[in-house]
Structure 1
Amino acid sequence: MVNLQNLSNLLNYDNEIGTLQKPPKLLNVNDYSNWKARFEHYISYTDSSLLIPILEGYKHPTYTYLDDVVPKPISKLDEEEKKVYDREKKAHGSITMALTRELFHSFRGYDNLKDLSKALQKRFEGNSDIKKSKRDLMRKLYECFRYLENESTDELISRFYHLQTELKLLS
């Protein structure tokens, strides 16, 4: 018989790290930097070509019509342009599928990957002032780091390495 607690734990784990068929979910907005790293690993593993529009952005092909530059209709894209367009749409879809319903609603208006990525980064990592404040807070936590009552050695070490990692990410 299936243990419901084990099944629930497995589903939560699948949501956190993703599977071959679905990306990891952004479950906790305070864990954005870890999610972002897991998401990039997921994309690298499933289809590394999807990293191109994530890292470099996408510019839809245009053509000149009556002295105006207009977007090229999808039906008029050549094979290479269609591949690039498909990568953009797959990467965009992967990120939107990784968002919870509440987060998806907040970012629904972003139709291209670059704008969506920038909006996520701005909201969850903040601007340079917020990043500086986070860095300062992490430094203070590092300087005040000490053993907590009833904490095991493994928990202490894990907390210490977590703090070091957070400091490196913010530097």
Structure 2
Amino acid sequence: MLSCLYPLPSTLLQNINLENEMGTSKKPTKLLCMEDYPSWVDKFETYVQALNYETWTAAEEEYIIPKNENGENYWLSQIAEGDKALFLKEKKMLNFFKQAIKAEIFQLLQHNGSCYSIWQALLNKDRGNPDMRKSKMALLKKEFDIFTQVNGESFTQLIERYCHLVNQMKRLKIDKPNYEYIDKLADALPEEWGTFIMV
């Protein structure tokens, strides 16, 4: 009877994990570790743009909050009238970042405090330095070359794994013609799909 009134701990944990992964109408999806960045970034970008596209532009355009002679940020009341909209946009976007990025990740980002620099720091952290990027690209190309269905894997899992691989490749600007992507997926499907593929 009580379980009807109060969710079980495992259900609460599942709900929290789902909220972190998908976000809610009141908060964006949460980046809990950098390995999740490729799947997180599109969800976060879409969330903010859908809620307020004007705010999103703070991540794409550099804006430095004015500072006083002591090097401290001005308060809104101290900002020039024409600059207030930019100041508010920056603060709103900063709030989205702080809600969406785990504190430990946020602290490790190298940025100057502007939303633009935070966004660029995230991109750079995901891509890594040139050597890491080159190594990651080589690994993804090899993974693509040997991609096949794993024993016991469902069709849905196969497609999800394939889409994740292709998205990672495109994020690192590994370009292949569409027919290669199609052929690779067709080759990975079980033999019984051969007739459907031929059709």
> TM-score, length-normalised on structure 2?
0.71
Aligned to 2:117: 115
> What are the within-5 Å matches in structure 2 for residues 127-142 of structure 1?
127-142=129-144
**Structure-2 change in CA distance of 1:152 and 1:57 (3 Å):** same
Gaps of 5+ in 2: 68-72, 174-199
Paired amino acid for 1:134? K
Instruction: Pick one of 28, 34, 37 that aligns with 1:32.
Output: 37
2:13 corresponds to 1:8: yes
**Structure-2 change in CA distance of 1:169 and 1:122 (3 Å):** closer
Instruction: Work out whether residues 28 and 47 of structure 2, in 8 Å CA contact, stay in contact via their aligned partners in 1.
Output: yes
Paired amino acid for 1:95? F
**Structure-2 change in CA distance of 1:153 and 1:17 (3 Å):** closer
Whole-angstrom CA distance in 1 between matches of 2:31 and 2:167: 19
Whole-angstrom CA distance in 2 between matches of 1:25 and 1:73: 28
Aligned to 1:102: 104
> What are the within-5 Å matches in structure 2 for residues 41-52 of structure 1?
41-52=46-57
Aligned to 1:152: 154
Whole-angstrom CA distance in 1 between matches of 2:137 and 2:108: 27
Whole-angstrom CA distance in 2 between matches of 1:161 and 1:116: 27
**Structure-2 change in CA distance of 1:146 and 1:6 (3 Å):** same
Aligned to 2:88: 86
Answer 1 or 2: which has greater strand percent. 1
Paired amino acid for 2:44? F
Whole-angstrom CA distance in 2 between matches of 1:33 and 1:16: 12
> TM-score, length-normalised on structure 1?
0.81
Q: Which runs of 4+ in 1 moved over 4 A?
A: 71-74, 107-110
Instruction: Work out whether residues 24 and 98 of structure 1, in 8 Å CA contact, stay in contact via their aligned partners in 2.
Output: yes
Instruction: Work out whether residues 111 and 121 of structure 2, in 8 Å CA contact, stay in contact via their aligned partners in 1.
Output: no
Whole-angstrom CA distance in 2 between matches of 1:106 and 1:44: 25
- Superposed displacement of residue 98, structure 1: 1.4
Whole-angstrom CA distance in 2 between matches of 1:146 and 1:101: 38
**Structure-2 change in CA distance of 1:22 and 1:101 (3 Å):** same
**Structure-2 change in CA distance of 1:72 and 1:165 (3 Å):** closer
**Structure-2 change in CA distance of 1:76 and 1:35 (3 Å):** same
Computed over aligned residues only, the root mean square deviation of the Cα atoms, in angstroms, reads 2.7
Aligned to 1:56: 61
Instruction: Work out whether residues 24 and 35 of structure 1, in 8 Å CA contact, stay in contact via their aligned partners in 2.
Output: yes
**Structure-2 change in CA distance of 1:73 and 1:12 (3 Å):** closer
Instruction: Work out whether residues 111 and 117 of structure 2, in 8 Å CA contact, stay in contact via their aligned partners in 1.
Output: no
Aligned to 1:166: 168
SS of alignment partner, residue 48 of structure 2: helix
